[in-house]
Structure 1
Amino acid sequence: MMNALFPDVVVNGETIPPAAIAAEAQNHPGPRDKPGIAWRKAAQALTIRALLLQEAARRGLQAEVHELAPGRFETEDEATIRTLLEEAVEPPEVTEAQIHAEWARDPDRFRSAPLWDVSHILCACDPRDETASAAARARAEALLARLDGDAKGFAATAARESECGSKSAGGALGQLGPGDTVPEFEAALRGLDAETVTPDPVQSRHGWHIIRLNAVAPGAVLPYQTVAPKIAQALEKAAWTAASRAFIAELADQSDIQGATLDPI
């Protein structure tokens, strides 16, 4: 049944049930005060799915379901859409000149991983316990206010006050690279200059941290030969995505679609 806010979606005479759109909308977050955005995104996604499945049926395609991971398989619809796109989408080949041009645009983007020499003071708590978390944060803020900023003062405070095993080393964690610590801690490191301390305590699953970046060794710029395969992979993925969108747009132009749009939302 059609209403003004959520009209029926019909693709070449095939009506997409409102219940299916409502279920799909759970996968498309939008502003809480604008539920229509999630609905329209869901309607668009299911319209594209209908267009692809209809085209696969028109071509008489037979799809073989693939195992995506141990014990996890594609649905029949996913297999059908994959088979159609493999047959219909032919992105242009990425050339060596394109790969080199992408690298030359800014070689500085392609670096080896940095290394951070880090110390911290931990005020431990379970972040799910609001009372304990508030108390630990207040304690961390008080310690931060008393720190004098130099490495010696930080190490002495960590040795007295930190609730991490690193306190025996003055809070020193040694050299860390990307992925060596929890995401919140790493994000704070990336925002620090060498020989500086986080201006505010940083929360993680372990509690509240005061973090000092003692030194940083930025990653070296990698040579073209090293990064060319990854650049090629990224360009090939972008080319395939563009070609897929063009194919879907062509199907839409040839179709009768009511209640949904393929325009960006």
Structure 2
Amino acid sequence: MSCSHYEQRVEHVDLPKLAVNGVAIAADELARELQYHPAASQGEALHAACRALVVRQLLLQRASALAISAEAEQGEAAEEARIRTLIEREVEVPEADEASCRQWYAANPARLASPWRMRLRHVLLACAPDDLDGRAKAREQAEALLAELREHPERFAEKAMRFSACPSKDDGGELGWIEPGQTVPEFERRLLREAPGLLVHPLESRYGLHVVELLAREGGEPLDFAEAHPRIAAYLRAQVLQRAVSQYIAVLASEARIEGFAFAAADSPLVQ
């Protein structure tokens, strides 16, 4: 986020005076926190930033009351280490039993697959998401490219270098091997449903229309229960932990004197 954007956000938001049990949270700390909470409106961003700082202060005060000290792990700040240790000590989270894991496995077969990666090349016909006329023209161009490439697949690199708006055009449209999270979700979802080869229809993303050839795919096969069990258990434990921490913070908030911010019933405060 640029400094000018950050200053503009701070200038146009009235910052409340926050305090937890008489300990004030400085306005400049709240102003800095705002940049970590992008939202649809400034009011939503301010609410999220206030909640994060109040929750942090609640947890730190509780850690001080229990005389908790902790050694920070690599990349972890000292305060984060104290909060982590507090949660580990105060919040009990049972491990998921095998029956619960099997139930989740049976209900979510499509969400359990081996790690995948794909190698592909593409031609990007760039167009803004809200440019409907531009998208229609890009789709026509993409369909025409596909028709030509079905007849002359050897021309893919040539077409990428000529028409693509992606930097990969210099490599004939080659993106190399991609793994989960390396492209936008709508791109990944479509590719995971396709067989290797030239895609029959253009792939649409927030960046425009893509003519794609899926060169190879590895992984992505369904896992059996034995392979999936550790992953399911970790997921279920994280879900229980999230709810338990939310309840723990709600109790701390109900017993504290908080100024400048109020937890709503549906606020579900979580560690930020």
TM-score (norm: length of structure 1): 0.70
Query: Identity, % of aligned pairs?
Result: 28
8 A contact 1:196–1:213 mirrored in 2 = no
* Correspondence for 1:88: 90
1:121-150 CA-partner distances (Å, limit 9, x unpaired) = 478xxx9xxxxxxxxx9x987853533637
Query: Which residue in 1 is equivalent to 2:46?
Result: 39
How far did residue 244 of structure 1 move? 1.3
Provide the residue aligned with 2:229 in structure 1: 228
Q: 1:107 to 1:198 in 2, by over 3 A?
A: same
1:153 corresponds in structure 2 to: 151
1:29 aligned onto 2:38: yes
Q: How many residues align?
A: 234
Q: 1:209 to 1:181 in 2, by over 3 A?
A: farther
C-alpha distance 188-11 of structure 1, shift in aligned 2 (>3 A): closer
1:159 Cα deviation (Å)? 5.8
**How many Å apart are 1:201 and its aligned residue?**
8.9
Structure 2: runs of 5 or more not aligned: 1-12, 127-134, 162-168
2:200 partner letter: T
Q: Residues of 1 paired with 2:151 and 2:218: CA distance?
A: 23
Helix, strand or coil: the match of 1:7? Answer: coil
Corresponding residue to 2:56 among 49, 54, 65: 49
Structure 1 vs Structure 2 CA RMSD: 4.0
Mapped to 1, the partners of 2:243 and 2:146 lie a distance apart of 54
The Cα shift of 1:48 comes to 0.7
Q: How many angstroms apart in 2 are the aligned matches of 1:196 and 1:118?
A: 14
Structure 1, unmatched stretches of 5+, are 128-136
Partner Cα separation in structure 2 for residue 89 and residue 78 of structure 1: 16
- Report the CA distance between 1:28 and its aligned residue: 0.7
Q: Deviations over 1:140-165 (max 9, x none)?
A: 87853533637642515426534258
| 2:200 aligned partner | 196
Counterpart of 1:130 in structure 2 is none
- Say whether residues 1:9 and 2:9 are aligned partners: no
Q: Is the Cα contact below 8 Å between 1:140 and 1:209 reproduced in 2?
A: no
SS in 2 for 1:10: strand
C-alpha contact (below 8 Å) 1:116/1:213 kept by paired residues: yes
What pairs with 1:79-158 in structure 2 (closer than 5 Å)? Answer: 79-113=81-115, 120-121=122-123, 144=142, 146-147=144-145, 149=147, 152-158=150-156
**Cross-structure match for 1:131:** none
Q: 2:147 aligns to what SS in structure 1?
A: coil
Deviations 1:30-61 (A, max 9, x none): 23xx3222122111111111111111111122
CA–CA distance in 1 between the matches of 2:20 and 2:205?
A: 53
3-state SS in 2 of match to 1:196: coil
For 2:243, give the aligned amino acid. Answer: A
Deviation at 1:214, TM superposition (A): 8.0
Q: CA deviation at 1:27?
A: 0.6
Alignment correspondent of 1:237: 238
Which residue of the partner structure matches residue 183 of structure 1? 183
CA pair 82-247 structure 1, distance change in 2 beyond 3 A? same
8 Å Cα contact 1:192/1:198 also seen in 2: no
How far did residue 223 of structure 1 move? 0.9
Q: 1:212 to 1:202 in 2, by over 3 A?
A: farther
- Whichever residue aligns with residue 201 of structure 2, its letter is V
CA distance in 1 between counterparts of 2:123 and 2:46 reads 46
* 2:8 equivalent in structure 1: none
CA distance in 1, matches of 2:206, 2:147: 17
